Amino acid sequence: MDLKAPRGTRDILPVETPAWQYVEQSFSSVCDRFSFQEIRVPTFEQTELFQRGVGDTTDIVQKEMYTFEDKGGRSMTLRPEGTAGVVRAYLENGLSSEPSPQKLYYILNSFRYEKMGKGRYREFNQMGCELFGSEEPTADAEIISLLFLFFRELGLKEINLKINSIGCPKCKPAYLDQLREYLRPQIHELCENCQDRFERNPMRILDCKEDAENEIVKNAPLQLEHLCSECEEHFASLCAELDNLGFQYEIDGHIVRGLDYYSRTVFEFISNNVGTQGTICGGGRYDGLIEELGGLPTPAVGFALGVERLLMELNSQNIVLPSVKGPDIYIVSFPDTINQAAKICFELRNNKIKAENNLNARSFRAQMKYADRIQAKYLVVLGEDELKTEKVSLKRMSDGEEIELDLADLAEYIKNN
């Protein structure tokens, strides 16, 4: 039997996990400073949640969801993104009654049956934030500023913030009619995806990667030029707040995002790094989603970023990430000292020291080689004499320097060196 990971998935091996942990812990730390609290939601939800929340017209719902019928005959779907599940949890658990705004963040895996590419998988990992209960442009700016700080602390350079406004239910319908009127005589000249989106979601044509350089798309009318007065004021205030915070950004009317629930502010952080050019993360405002899912009208804004895509960008920019670290100490033992070695090893671990000992009944020589291979910082040989005198010779593996210590002082020395 030739068992392999399912197509579109991958194993994250121990050599990689320190970098993942570093990025996730850095994200949690920044979120905490902005008073965002972590939420964890189920891996699968009722299919209707994503149909209503993400939108029937999206590629995700129409083509990419992993949907199945459970034993009770209910239609369930592996989550394709995080926002819909977080909104459902917000409503179901009464978080709307808590002090506003509610600020939540998540780190989770998601699933989409989509075309695979560099840094793109069918099971992928996302980090994101959702802010519920504020319609002010300062809330949009806070979400964006959290990302600026996160990227700065990771050391990312060569990234550019692009922002846009895609209007609201008051001004968007008239614009969509105008966009369709402009595109209709020429739609056959665009790609198959654009033709498919023409009726159900024509705004997505504006950010089509295949037709990005097509003059038809370049010259299309933009929502930014047809905003109502409220949306104009909101967008102008957001720009003023970003200026106030000292952030560089570019206004790009072709940034529209791919999910139906967005309104007004949308944004993307784009890599300018040669070889990895593309979107690192994106988000925006979705003031109608909570009401669509059965709650009271509640403004909201958030973002999501792919962890795989982010790690690829960090590696491309030669940013050094944490790697596997060997134990602080390896204790070499013999058949008549192995039990005492295990006891000492446990006490060291109890003192928050990373310690290893002989679990495979290896010979003395094999243990020495093993300690070197796992990159132990220190090594101790525990024989009968060491047990009797309660003194050991602590060897630093990097240069072979040795120091004699009382067993009782071993933990303290390692902690301080």
Residue 376 lies in a domain: yes
pLDDT band at 258 (very low <50, low <70, confident <90, very high): low
Residue 367 sits in a domain whose CATH number is: 3.40.50.800
Residue 11 lies in a domain: no
Give yes or no: residues 298 and 390 share one domain.
no
- The domain boundary, picked from 285, 316, 347, lies at 316
* Mean pLDDT score, 33-54: 94
In SS3 terms, the chain reads as: CCCCCCCCCCCCCCCCHHHHHHHHHHHHHHHHHCCCEECCCCCEEEHHHHHHHCCCCCHHHHHHCCEEECCCCCEEEECCCCHHHHHHHHHHCCHHHCCCCEEEEEEEEEECCCCCECCECCEEEEEEEEEECCCCHHHHHHHHHHHHHHHHHHCCCCEEEEEEECCCCCCHHHHHHHHHHHHHHHHHHCCHHHHHHHHHCHHHHHHCCCCCCCHHHHCCCCHHHHCCHHHHHHHHHHHHHHHHHCCCCEECCCCCCCCCCCEEEEEEEEECCCCCCEEEEEEEECCCHHHHCCCCCCCEEEEEEEHHHHHHHHHHCCCCCCCCCCCCEEEECCCCCHHHHHHHHHHHHHCCCCEEECCCCCCHHHHHHHHHHCCCCEEEECCHHHHHHCEEEEEECCCCCEEEEEHHHHHHHHHHC
Residue 267 lies in a domain: yes
Give yes or no: residues 153 and 95 share one domain.
yes
The 10s digit of each residue's pLDDT in 346-399 is 999 999 999 999 999 899 999 999 999 999 999 999 999 999 999 999 999 999
Q: What is the model's pLDDT at position 302?
A: 97
Give yes or no: residues 245 and 301 share one domain.
yes
Q: What is the model's pLDDT at position 136?
A: 96
Which range has the worst mean pLDDT, 81-90, 147-156, 219-228, 275-284?
275-284
* Mean pLDDT score, 2-12: 91
**Residue 276 clears pLDDT 70, i.e. is over it:** no
The whole domain housing 387 covers 329-416
Sorted by sequence, the CB contacts under 8 Å of residue 324 that are 6+ apart come out as 14, 15, 18
211/120: higher pLDDT: 120
Rounded mean pLDDT of the chain?
91
pLDDT band at 287 (very low <50, low <70, confident <90, very high): very high
Q: What is the model's pLDDT at position 274?
A: 59
Residue 188 lies in a domain: no
Give yes or no: residues 304 and 334 share one domain.
no
Q: What is the model's pLDDT at position 151?
A: 96
Structure tokens at 257: 């995002």
Give yes or no: residues 245 and 164 share one domain.
yes
pLDDT band at 20 (very low <50, low <70, confident <90, very high): very high
- The domain boundary, picked from 291, 316, 341, lies at 316
pLDDT band at 54 (very low <50, low <70, confident <90, very high): confident
Residue 203 lies in a domain: no
pLDDT band at 275 (very low <50, low <70, confident <90, very high): low
Give yes or no: residues 252 and 164 share one domain.
yes
Residue 197 lies in a domain: no
Give yes or no: residues 337 and 286 share one domain.
no
- What is the tally of structural domains in the chain? 2
The 10s digit of each residue's pLDDT in 111-141 is 999 887 777 899 999 999 999 999 999 999 9
**Residue 406 clears pLDDT 90, i.e. is over it:** yes
pLDDT band at 150 (very low <50, low <70, confident <90, very high): very high
Give yes or no: residues 99 and 156 share one domain.
yes
Q: What is the model's pLDDT at position 231?
A: 95
- The domain boundary, picked from 284, 316, 348, lies at 316
104/214: higher pLDDT: 104
Give yes or no: residues 348 and 267 share one domain.
no
Amino acid type, 222:
L
Residue 231 sits in a domain whose CATH number is: 3.30.930.10
**Residue 229 clears pLDDT 80, i.e. is over it:** yes
**Residue 99 clears pLDDT 80, i.e. is over it:** yes
Residue 291 lies in a domain: yes
Share of the chain above pLDDT 70, in %: 98
pLDDT band at 57 (very low <50, low <70, confident <90, very high): low
Give yes or no: residues 300 and 334 share one domain.
no
Residue 129 lies in a domain: yes
Q: What is the model's pLDDT at position 19?
A: 96
Give yes or no: residues 257 and 342 share one domain.
no
Q: What is the model's pLDDT at position 394?
A: 95
**Residue 76 clears pLDDT 80, i.e. is over it:** yes
Give yes or no: residues 92 and 145 share one domain.
yes
